[in-house]
Chains A and B, each alone.
Chain A
Amino acid sequence: MSDTLTLMALFHGGTDTAEAIDALHALGIPDEKMVVITGVPYPEGALGRHREWLTLPYIVLAGAAGGLLFGLFLSAITPHLYRLDVGGHPPVGFPPTAIIIFVFTMMATIVSTFLGVLWEMNFPRFGPAPYHRLVTDGHLAVLLEYPAELEASVRQTLEARHAHHVGEPERVAL
């Protein structure tokens, strides 16, 4: 028999959920052993949980720098690769170069934001995962992993905060 158990409980409201999370913390279950699943984004701190550090801004900055360099290459380097002098004009002018560099920088910023957030969320991820379809109907799900000896007190704590559908999580094909 495993030393740890996994359980999912649903709640009707954020207040009950936050109180249950506090009580589970008091039982010695750390934040990283709990996942809260909601159909609505709750504000930071509303459910008494810590936010994780994101690398997304750095991915975006790296993408923007890459776009800038690519734009610089296209607008300032490629005219020299096959030079055509026209009517005394310089092969590279600053205003058109600035436009191209700007646009490619912004394009890379946008694309790297999109790819970066998918990478951070580990998407796409279509396999079966612990989930409950009532989440998108407004229920809040708390998925937790805890030592087997806490089984009784965990269930008692959850039911005291009006949890329902308490039990082993269903693995839904997402």
Chain B
Amino acid sequence: MSEPDRSTLHAPRSTPFDERLLLAERTDQEINQAVLQPMIQTGRGFWALVTVLGAIVAWGLYAWGYLVYWGIGVTGKNRPVYWTLFITTFVFWVGISHAGTMISAVLRIFKADWRRPITRGAEAMTAFALMMAGLYPLIHLGRVWKFYWMIPYPNNRLMWPNFQSPLMWDLVAIFTYLIGSTLYLYLALIPDMAMARDHTAGWRYRLYRALALGWRGTEAEWHKLHRALGIFSVAIIPIFLSVHSIVSWDFAVTIQPRWHSTIFAPYFVIGAVYSGLAALASILVIVRRGMRLQEFLRAEHFDALGKLVLVAGMAWTYFWFSGFIVEWYGNEPVVRELIRQEVAGNLAPLFYLQMSANLTPIGLLVFKRVRTTPALLLAATLLVNVGMYTERALIVIGSLQRNHLPFNWGLYRPTWVEVSIVAMTFAGFTLLYTLFSRIIPFVPVWEIKEGRLRYTLRRIGRLLVPTAAEIE
């Protein structure tokens, strides 16, 4: 393949591809520095943010310790609402984790070139969201030290954990996804660790050297890395589909009204994709500004991501309506009562918040101006996640308030312990992500350089048109 002809890259500033040209004119050395400098230079704002987030995490840990000491009774759990904010937030975090695979694996397979600058941010989001999700089954246990009962080895009576139970499906599925997404993140990181190793000193050099594993960049190493990433991309897609399906089956295999539904698995998956993509867009807007990555994360990336959020939102709406119409038409007494609670009862504020927060962004994201204006995109995608969190709360908490035994109906109010622990995981996720962005190159440098190698501008009449070579 011939290298890009630099003489063709100097287009007038008014062409639609100005932003692409910025990066095309950079040398590899300049790209390295543009990524490494914001990692190394941290201002007061960064440390202030870390301090605030650390304080929230510390408070949440205190609340968790309080729960462990006094028992699960310090939460608002009751009969019949035995799954509360913990499981709501667990489902939310599992959902958030789905965008990493969606962006990285699916778009890698389809060779979508615009994925390149955002893959690492997406993969990191997956790993950290799963870490937060993984805390909730432990917190929800109350007696957290009994966790080892789920590890697959027999007890002193040779009795094994019950793998016919959804609890075990959940454990192995989330553990598998966490392992898979972390290894996937790390594997694609190795060449950039070598780049960082070659350009840093002190503790950073020692860290990057250890993480680079001795990478040099020989043809054989690149070939093997590409092959492994290809296998990962294919293998992780069924895992990502299975994880949220299995989470949905935690609910659907019960006979609880509104949970016992065959549509739950695809409905959960599409909801996860919707909220995950929206969360990714929100994070990218914030990181882009915080780390001055405007040159890498450009309008064309946000435009494409915004379109994906839009499509996922429309698909979510379709699945929600498909489930709702069957329930409404079935007119089962308890389901009818739950729908009445949502439309005009005590769940109405949450229901209308859910619908407006999920549907309004779909209307907004139709407009290119919203997709390509960071502040507007941030507002629209944050709204999506308000809606998706509310949706999870309605499914988990709302549904449990009514069941087949009317004498057993009840209400739920969260306590300070639950709110503190939920806040801890939101702060913990943000803290991990903030620290990650200062330690690990947020933009996959080698993938960007690879894209630049494959990409050139070709003049067709009055236009400069981007073209990419179709090569492996």
A residues within 8 Å of B by Cβ? Answer: 13-15, 35-44, 46-47, 49, 51-52, 54, 56-57, 60, 74-75, 78-79, 81-82, 84, 92-93, 96-97, 99-100, 102-104, 106-107, 109-111, 113-114, 116-118, 120-121, 123-127, 129, 131, 133, 135-138, 173-174
Nearest-neighbor residue (CB-CB) of B159 within chain A: A82
Binds A, one of B40-48, B179-187, B281-289: B179-187
CB–CB B214/A106 < 8 A: no
CB distance from A17 to the nearest CB of B (A): 11
Closest 4 A/B residue pairs (Cβ) = A138-B28, A125-B214, A117-B228, A78-B160
* Contact A92/B164 with A117-B187, A117-B228, A136-B198 known, Cβ cut-off 8 Å: yes
Interface string of B413-434 (1 = CB under 8 A from A): 0000000000000000000000
CB–CB B220/A56 < 8 A: no
CB–CB B216/A57 < 8 A: no
CA distance A104 to B180 in the complex (A): 12
CB distance from A118 to the nearest CB of B (A): 7
CA distance A114 to B213 in the complex (A): 13
Nearest-neighbor residue (CB-CB) of B172 within chain A: A103
CB of B217 within 8 Å of the partner chain? yes
CB–CB B160/A74 < 8 A: yes
Can you list 12 A-B contacts with CB-CB less than 8 angstroms, sorted by A residue number? A14-B1, A39-B195, A40-B449, A54-B227, A82-B154, A96-B165, A103-B173, A103-B176, A110-B236, A135-B217, A136-B199, A136-B217
CB–CB B32/A136 < 8 A: yes
For A60, the chain B residues whose CB sits under 8 A away are 231
CB distance from B170 to the nearest CB of A (A): 10
For B168, the chain A residues whose CB sits under 8 A away are 100
CB–CB B158/A81 < 8 A: yes
Nearest-neighbor residue (CB-CB) of A13 within chain B: B3
Partner of A81, one of B154, B215, B454: B154
For B187, the chain A residues whose CB sits under 8 A away are 114, 117
CB of B7 within 8 Å of the partner chain? no
CB–CB B228/A116 < 8 A: yes
For B232, the chain A residues whose CB sits under 8 A away are 110, 113
CB–CB B216/A131 < 8 A: yes
CB distance from B359 to the nearest CB of A (A): 33
CA distance A47 to B246 in the complex (A): 47
CB distance from A37 to the nearest CB of B (A): 5
* Contact A123/B214 with A40-B449, A44-B472 known, Cβ cut-off 8 Å: yes
**5 extra interchain contacts, Cβ-Cβ under 8 A, other than A82-B158, A82-B160, A100-B163?**
A38-B222, A39-B191, A44-B471, A114-B187, A121-B220
CA distance A87 to B371 in the complex (A): 56
CB–CB B235/A109 < 8 A: yes
Interface string of B309-330 (1 = CB under 8 A from A): 0000000000000000000000
* Contact A36/B235 with A44-B472, A79-B163, A136-B32 known, Cβ cut-off 8 Å: no
For A107, the chain B residues whose CB sits under 8 A away are 172, 175-176, 179-180
